[in-house]
Structure 1
Amino acid sequence: MVFSITRKSTGFVTPAEPTPTEILPLSAIDRIEGLRYLVRSVHVFKSGVRAAETIKQAMSKALVTYYPFAGRFINDPEDGEVKLACRGQGVLFVEAVANCSLEDVRFLDYPLMIPQDDIFPELSQDIIESVDIPSMMQVTEFTCGGFVIGLFSVHTMADGLGVAQFLHAIGEVARGLPKLTLNPIWGRDLLPNPTNLRHSGPPPVIDNDKLECTTIDFSADSILKLKTDFFHSTGKHCSTFDASVAKVWQSRTRAIGFELDEPVHICFFANIRHLLSKIVPPEGGYYGNCFYPITVSSTAGIVSESNLVDVVRIVKDAKNDLPKAFAKWAIGDFKEDPFQLTFRYNSLFVSDWTRLGFREVDYGWGKPVNVIPFPYYEFMAMAVIGTLPVPKQGARIMTQCVEKKHFDTFQHEMGKFN
């Protein structure tokens, strides 16, 4: 059987009631040029009834309070800054049907049995190049009653926690809750705005050839063992993210075979909402980008030859420096812009999808059984730390981080963890 998806309709979901017509400023973090790209994710739900229509109607109502998601990014001719023009244009929404059940395609577990491009909205080249629509969604209904959401979200609009907050709001409306759990807060002017922050600069240096993609699962037992070893060694706890990052970093460094004194780096975005509790309500609601990049550096020799517990320690030590580093950045006390990322082969970017809230979204028929994030730029060496499909336990590591000549060794090193 050939599995296929047919798109039935494409249009824009607009707010159900009149919303303000205004131009909203973005925060210093939102305006970072490197965030103007589409984040792709797939959300798999086991059951639903007229899911596309239900989500469409709920989204329209949710957009009354989350009306910026119905806006468009513009370049303000007066100051040259990127801003959001709110005129109620709407969220791009596609309704589609599949000719099979989710069981037939293993609930989109890897390897995918349906081309990934079929699960997302089909975009014109103009949209891809401009990336001015904050959010785009395709809901595909399967013959079993289950459905899949293919989501495009522009990182300029919100970080992962912010996008998940918007989806939670749609879910609460769909379930008939009398009011939203969180009141959305725009408040982009609340965040620090260092005067010497460089929003654009010279093109990043890219020396990566084509990077190979692979997905590897870490068992819950292997992660627990490393957590236990770390606790026995340090008396401190580490997270699934810490354990997973350490193993990926070490495996990649060994596979590539850098000179022992070669600097190697990993970078990830750390949530800073807790560091802004006096200006961003601690109960939640702020959905803009609210993170700070943490760069962890060492030498290839140390990362390759150390006990894995010691690699976790290097990651944890860098995370502990977050409050001080962010405080200095907030007042402009920096020489090099920490948000200007590098894409050299000795650097790995890591994205954490384990605690964003996507796995808790419910449109009325239960939480998703699978959430699949995808890599970003093709030239970006990266690893995405996610969760396994229900009911499996552990971590799923999606990587796009080594060239073909290093691929087999990388997979072998990663496989040693289980």
Structure 2
Amino acid sequence: MASSSSSSSSLNFTVRRCEPELVPPAIPTPHEVKLLSDIDDQDGLRFHVPMVQIYRKKESMAEKDPVQVIRQALSQTLVFYYPFAGRLREGPHRKLMVDCTGEGVMFIEADADVTLDQFGDSLQPPFPCYQELQYEVPGSQEITNTPLLLVQVTRLKCGGFFLAIRLNHTMCDGPGYQQFLSAWAEMARGATKPSIAPVWRRELLMARDPPRITCNHREYEQVPDTVKGTVTPNQDDMVQRSFFFGPLDIAALRRLIPQHLRHCTTFDLITACLWRCRTKALQIEADEDVRMMCVVNARGQFNSPLPVGYYGNGFAYPAAVTTAGKLCGKPFGYAVELINKVKGEMTEEYLQSVADLMVMKGRCLFTTVRSCIVSHLARFNIREVDFGWGEGVYAGVAQAGGGSFPGISFFCSAKNGKGEEGIVFPICLPAAAMERFSQEFNHMLRNKNQPQTTSATLIMSNL
């Protein structure tokens, strides 16, 4: 058993970890090779997403060990989701496929001498010393030939626990992850099979023959790099903060837009706010283009819908594009309208065109220059996933950027210290830009006509 101590400016604790082990399916599963779709294996999804579920002690579960319950349920769930127990291989033309070997997923049992209450308001990303709560097993960071899931269950002194899950994004998207997690929780509560049977069917999102690009994909444009406005993971002054939007904050933003936009969603408002504040914070030149790419779920939007139970990636991220000068100089409603409009670009043809583009352009990466991406995980209710300990205290991404491109922000449902329901999103920026972002953010939520205090909160950590 390994032991390591962790500390942050506000918290010190020690984590004792058992050696990582492989958890295979509970019974033998098919040994076959399954192709990923041409949406799944694009460059922009070839990374591991760090996710976390946090649960409090439950008296009725006092005799149950969360490590044993979750490990056993995972083994049973992998019988149905057996591709997760395999390994990715890369074939000709960078095509990814799953070799269903049944080897299993990586699992770590751990204990920490800390309670949930000691985390205080830090039960939102970035978490103090998260590297101890989700240990990076050496050699497991590659996309191919390594476990597709890394799971760590860390018991806390109070009886609560962290369930940290590192997921290979090529295997599934937000709805697919929620489906897998729900099946796993069902097994933990005693089910013998998932209520929704998993469906592979990745051929539904393969490129056509011959492939043809039929839509304008500004999210994949090749843009000359510039120093201003591009945030890279290797910058040594990067910090991370989470921003929480409660009902008062959403109302404050809604008062900033004209009547004809009052139909817009909470997602539109928060995305437009983030985009505008981030652009100002990075001090991008007025004539430079900036991009906001919105992850739009394709499920239910097709004439021939993806089948119930499909857990592969079924989305695109069309880009709203304007100049920094227009975005920051025009009224807030301009940004909201751009976001609202770009979501409407998602059609069955658009997604098919993305699949074709991937084959024609070598599974290229999205535009990273002066760009950001948002994904609305809050709509998938993963905090409600119940392994027997009830609803999670927090459920969602563990850090901004998902461990990959720092311009990605995931919107997750959360409660603040007052118990208010809202949406939290982590963001990653250079330290000086983060301070400017915070100032712009607070300025936007300040309504002179109604000077009530908003419920926005922020948390900061050095990366």
Question: Would you call these one fold, judging by a TM-score over 0.5?
Answer: yes
Supply the distance in 2 between the matched residues of 1:15 and 1:405 (Cα, whole angstroms).
Answer: 48
Q: Deviations over 1:266-290 (max 9, x none)?
A: 1132111122362522xx2100011
Offset of 1:380 from its aligned partner?
3.2
Structure 2: gaps spanning 5 or more residues: 1-10, 214-219, 446-453, 455-463
Offset of 1:338 from its aligned partner?
9.9
1:20 corresponds in structure 2 to 30
Offset of 1:113 from its aligned partner?
6.5
CA distance 1:349–1:202, shift in 2 (3 Å)? closer
Q: Deviations over 1:361-390 (max 9, x none)?
A: 110110111124122356532333222236
CA distance 1:328–1:89, shift in 2 (3 Å)? closer
Query: Would you say the 8 A contact 1:196–1:332 is kept in 2?
Result: yes
CA distance 1:327–1:2, shift in 2 (3 Å)? closer
Supply the distance in 2 between the matched residues of 1:385 and 1:411 (Cα, whole angstroms).
Answer: 17
2:251 corresponds in structure 1 to 224
2:323 corresponds in structure 1 to 299
Offset of 1:44 from its aligned partner?
0.5
Query: Would you say the 8 A contact 2:20–2:137 is kept in 1?
Result: no
Offset of 1:34 from its aligned partner?
2.7
Query: Would you say the 8 A contact 2:54–2:161 is kept in 1?
Result: yes
2:287 corresponds in structure 1 to 261
After superposition, residues 90-239 of structure 1 pair within 5 angstroms as: 90-106=104-120, 108-110=122-124, 114-124=128-138, 126-131=139-144, 132-194=146-208, 195-196=210-211, 207=227, 208=231, 210=235, 211-227=238-254, 230=257, 233-234=259-260, 236-239=262-265
Q: 1:340 aligns with which of 341, 349, 365?
A: 365
Q: 1:273 aligns with which of 290, 299, 302?
A: 299
Helix, strand or coil at the partner of 2:263: coil
Supply the distance in 2 between the matched residues of 1:175 and 1:325 (Cα, whole angstroms).
Answer: 41
Q: How many residues align?
A: 410
Offset of 1:411 from its aligned partner?
1.1
Offset of 1:403 from its aligned partner?
3.3
Supply the distance in 2 between the matched residues of 1:183 and 1:350 (Cα, whole angstroms).
Answer: 29
1:365 corresponds in structure 2 to 389
Identity of paired residues, percent? 29
Offset of 1:326 from its aligned partner?
1.0
Supply the distance in 1 between the matched residues of 2:411 and 2:224 (Cα, whole angstroms).
Answer: 24
Supply the distance in 1 between the matched residues of 2:155 and 2:265 (Cα, whole angstroms).
Answer: 36
Query: Would you say the 8 A contact 2:24–2:102 is kept in 1?
Result: yes
Query: Which deviates more, 240-249 or 329-338?
Result: 329-338
CA distance 1:67–1:337, shift in 2 (3 Å)? closer
Supply the distance in 1 between the matched residues of 2:174 and 2:405 (Cα, whole angstroms).
Answer: 21
If the length of structure 2 is used for normalisation, what is the TM-score? 0.80
Supply the distance in 2 between the matched residues of 1:306 and 1:201 (Cα, whole angstroms).
Answer: 25
Offset of 1:74 from its aligned partner?
1.0
Opposite residue 277 of structure 2, the aligned amino acid is S
Structure 1: gaps spanning 5 or more residues: none
2:80 corresponds in structure 1 to 65
Opposite residue 387 of structure 1, the aligned amino acid is S
If the length of structure 1 is used for normalisation, what is the TM-score? 0.88
Offset of 1:83 from its aligned partner?
0.7
2:4 corresponds in structure 1 to none
Helix, strand or coil at the partner of 1:274: coil
Q: Deviations over 1:45-99 (max 9, x none)?
A: 11253111001111111111111111100123x6752210012101111111111
Q: 1:354 aligns with which of 365, 372, 378?
A: 378
Opposite residue 398 of structure 1, the aligned amino acid is P
Offset of 1:212 from its aligned partner?
3.5
Q: Deviations over 1:193-229 (max 9, x none)?
A: 145489x999995853524422222232121343466
Helix, strand or coil at the partner of 1:156: helix
Q: CA RMSD in A?
A: 3.0
Supply the distance in 2 between the matched residues of 1:99 and 1:331 (Cα, whole angstroms).
Answer: 48
